[in-house]
Amino acid sequence: MRIQILSDELASQIAAGEVVERPASVVKELLENSLDANASHIKIAIKTAGKELIEVVDNGIGISSDQLELSLTRHATSKLSKSEDLTMISTLGFRGEALASIASVSKFMISSRDSDSDLGRRLLVDGGKLDSPQAIAAAVGTTVRVEELFYNVPARKKFLKKDTTEKRHIDALVTRYALAYPEVRFQLEQDGRATLNTSGNGDRREVLAAMYNPDIARQMLEVNAEYPDINIKGYISPTSLSRSNRKAMTFFANGRWVQDAALAKAVTQAYHTLLMVGRYPITILFVELSPEKVDVNVHPTKSEVRFEDQNVIFTSVQRAVRGALLAYSPVPTMNTPINWSTTSQFSSNWNKSKGITAGGIGKRNGEAPSEISASENPETIVHREGFPESGVPLLRLIGQVSLAFLVAEGPDGLYLIDQHAAHERILFERIMAQRDTQMPSQALLEPVTIELTSSEVELLDEQIPLLETLGFRIESFGPTTYKIRGMPSTLIDLNPQTAVRVVIEDFEEDETPLQDEIEAKIIARVCKRAAVKAGQVLSNEEQKALLQDLEACQAPRTCPHGRPTMVHLSLDLLERQFGRKGAR
């Protein structure tokens, strides 16, 4: 084969592979262009998760008719002219490849008019081939329509996630930009349904409410720290509000959404000891520094940056966040009444040695400390032989210890039972067993309304059929409002809002597990909330019932999250510990 230069069309398609990964990346590039054009109003319309249509309409400065074709050429940009410009980029775009890339992998239309012209101009492009330029009447600003994304790149199309996931990415992306540019009015519509509508009045809390919910927006603490070379602004969650993953930590550097592990680490450190292990805050932080101190030309998607002085950024973010936290909540509070440390120390080794898994219910997220001190080593106190492979022996209750554990005697020694973990297991099996039939539902005396964000709506809508079979009665009551009319009888003591929220809370964005796994996971979460807590006094009757119910479980030895429900001290071990048996 002879060496030849790639055709422009092919080169654009290759470049598109880097810039345009999924529909949300198209939305991102178009939004950035509108923001660079100083638009004060941006309308985004999406059909079928962006696979059918992405349309962005802005009222920015527009493109003059004689330059419109040029805007679609690769490496054509109005934002850079000489290489020194590259060291101090203050626009979101600068690579001049987004429009060319997008146009090469879609059926593309751009129309624009600038304020010097009376007429606008429109171009159609089909898979990179230009078609029929036309003068049109239009308002000042730019409209881009991207139809049938990846129609000519089947490999890419195949890797798109299911619609709800892609939609969620778009919602999350637009919301982030709305938050970063509160003075711009954003309107997002997915399949004819308005999923975000900000006023552009500059109020970030309004956007926060749309992003999470009004309650969270109210609770978020404001960060506003100015240091000599850098400003840190934004919102962070109080310690009472946390998530089980890092995904709710959002960062902007000079108005650009960035993913940066070091920033996340700085924030996590600022929360150190204020949050439980494995919990993460919700943060939206805007780092502002002079453009020459940050290199944005690291990756085609421009979502990675390099800071000239990493340490200054790190300590500034940490100080700003810590300062805000301490100013608002001087007394550190744990956000969960349950402290797993006693049992979780066992669980890592326990699981390894016994091969116990969470029964296919999600993964353990590695929050259990891995070192085990000598005195707590399960090898010395947990005698694992003689432990029935499934089921537990008949137990005689002795009593409750420190309002968290039950002590019982079995045929072969002593058993310590974690009351919360045990109850979780019991509820879990009860619900799973009844899952195929209709679970008994109890109507609420007073229906409870719950207010959700649009992405939460998507998640809830997906799970409503499951919730129905579990005994929840939930109906839609306006675009983002639901009414809870009934609850599973087993869970009637639970706060209805909390119960419904656990279904959507912390749902991993890209999770596409089997429906069975989702169900088990949701049920496990609901059980966790419903189970008796450590610190709760149980009557003698309740303690007995708990033991009996646990004995009846199929997998009584672990809670649905894989932690042990009980620890066994065998007679043999006790005898040896007291020097009655074996060599000293």
Task: Give residues in contact with Mg ion (CB under 5 A).
Answer: 33, 93, 98
Residue whose token pair is 């596409």: 512
CB atoms within 10 A of CB 147: 16
Tell me: does residue 37 bind ligand ADP (CB under 6 A): yes
Give 92 or 406: the residue with its C-beta nearer to ligand ADP: 92
Give 92 or 522: the residue with its C-beta nearer to Mg ion: 92
Tokens of 106: 């879609």
CB of 29 to ligand ADP, least distance (A): 6
402: alpha, beta or left? (left if phi > 0; alpha if psi -120 to 50): left
User: Bridge-partner residues for 197, per DSSP?
Assistant: 187
Given a contact cutoff of 8 angstroms between Cβ atoms, the answer to whether 94 and 79 are in contact is yes
Tell me: does residue 98 bind ligand ADP (CB under 6 A): yes
Q: Could you give the angle at the alpha carbon of 423 between the alpha carbons of 422 and 426, nearest 5°?
A: 90
**Contacts of ligand ADP in 100-139 (CB under 6 A):** 100
| Number of residues located near ligand ADP, criterion CB under 6 A | 23
Q: For ligand ADP, which residue of 24, 61, 382, 427 counts as binding (CB under 6 A)?
A: 61
Which of ligand ADP, Mg ion, none has residue 316 at its interface (CB below 5 to 8 Å by kind)?
none
Which of ligand ADP, Mg ion, none has residue 453 at its interface (CB below 5 to 8 Å by kind)?
none
Tell me: does residue 31 bind ligand ADP (CB under 6 A): no
Residue whose token pair is 């992003």: 211
Q: For ligand ADP, which residue of 34, 198, 239, 453 counts as binding (CB under 6 A)?
A: 34
Q: Coil, strand or helix: which one is 105?
A: coil
Tell me: does residue 99 bind ligand ADP (CB under 6 A): yes
CB of 91 to ligand ADP, least distance (A): 7
Which of Mg ion, ligand ADP, none has residue 97 at its interface (CB below 5 to 8 Å by kind)?
ligand ADP
Given a contact cutoff of 8 angstroms between Cβ atoms, the answer to whether 15 and 25 are in contact is no
Candidates 419, 413, 421, 420; CA nearest to 396 is: 413
CB of 194 to ligand ADP, least distance (A): 22
Tell me: does residue 63 bind ligand ADP (CB under 6 A): yes
Tell me: does residue 58 bind ligand ADP (CB under 6 A): yes
Tell me: does residue 79 bind ligand ADP (CB under 6 A): yes
Tell me: does residue 562 bind ligand ADP (CB under 6 A): no
Tokens of 540: 């003698």
Q: For ligand ADP, which residue of 60, 359, 471, 486 counts as binding (CB under 6 A)?
A: 60
Largest CA distance in the chain: 101
Which of ligand ADP, Mg ion, none has residue 77 at its interface (CB below 5 to 8 Å by kind)?
ligand ADP
Tell me: does residue 62 bind ligand ADP (CB under 6 A): yes
Going through 429-524 in order, the beta strands assigned E by DSSP cover 441-451, 473-476, 481-488
Helix (H) or strand (E) holding 424: helix 419-434
Give 46 or 99: the residue with its C-beta nearer to ligand ADP: 99
Backbone phi and psi for residue 215, each to the nearest 5 degrees, phi listed first: -65, -45
Residue whose token pair is 């296919």: 360
Give 98 or 524: the residue with its C-beta nearer to ligand ADP: 98
Distances (CA, A) of 213 to 152, 205, 207, 248, 529: 40, 10, 9, 13, 21
Give contact residues for ligand ADP (rule: CB under 6 A). Answer: 29, 33-34, 37, 58, 60-63, 71, 76-79, 93-100, 142
